[in-house]
């Protein structure tokens, strides 16, 4: 899945979550704000979980790559791949956990 496909899938999933939560009728600016918050949270939680599961040697290599301005996101991704992590499975776990939390949490009243 390339980056464009990932973003489209994330947008669709976020919209589905908002609908499942019964918030599809929010004003468009509030819905967009909620959508951004959900996506930021999912991406952040995914990244944290990947880093948590990286072996120590790969984590050190990853940190050096991120700190090196001449390296790209692709270089960092290659380190994760070389560690043998199943990022698809990690993503599924993060999404399932977040969805359970989000759908069970009480709605906040917007002022």
Give the pLDDT confidence of 36-55 residue by residue, as tens digits.
Answer: 999 999 999 999 999 999 99
Residue 25 belongs to some domain of the structure: yes
pLDDT band at 108 (very low <50, low <70, confident <90, very high): low
Domain count, the chain: 1
Task: Give yes or no for a contact between 23 and 15, defined as CB atoms under 8 angstroms apart.
Answer: no
pTM for the model stands at 0.83
Residue 62 belongs to some domain of the structure: yes
- 39 lies in which domain range? 21-104
Q: Hey, what are 102's tokens?
A: 């989000």
pLDDT band at 6 (very low <50, low <70, confident <90, very high): confident
Q: pLDDT digits over 20-30, tens only?
A: 999 999 999 99
- DSSP string over 46-70: HHHHHHHHS-HHHHHHHHHHHH-TT
Residue 77 belongs to some domain of the structure: yes
Judged against a pLDDT cut of 60, whether residue 109 lies above it is answered with no
Task: Give yes or no for a contact between 83 and 60, defined as CB atoms under 8 angstroms apart.
Answer: no
Residue 94 belongs to some domain of the structure: yes
Residue 26 belongs to some domain of the structure: yes
Q: What is the mean pLDDT of residues 98-105?
A: 94
């Amino acid at each position: 899945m390339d980056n464009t496909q990932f973003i489209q899938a994330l947008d669709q999933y976020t919209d589905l979550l908002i609908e499942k939560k019964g918030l599809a009728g929010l004003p468009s600016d509030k819905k967009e704000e909620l959508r951004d918050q959900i996506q930021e949270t999912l991406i952040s939680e995914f990244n944290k979980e990947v880093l948590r599961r990286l072996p120590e040697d790969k984590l050190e290599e990853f940190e050096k790559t991120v700190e090196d301005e001449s390296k790209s996101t692709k270089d960092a991704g290659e380190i994760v791949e070389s560690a043998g992590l199943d990022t698809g499975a990690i993503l599924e776990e993060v999404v399932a956990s977040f969805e359970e939390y989000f759908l069970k949490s009480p709605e906040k009243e917007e002022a």
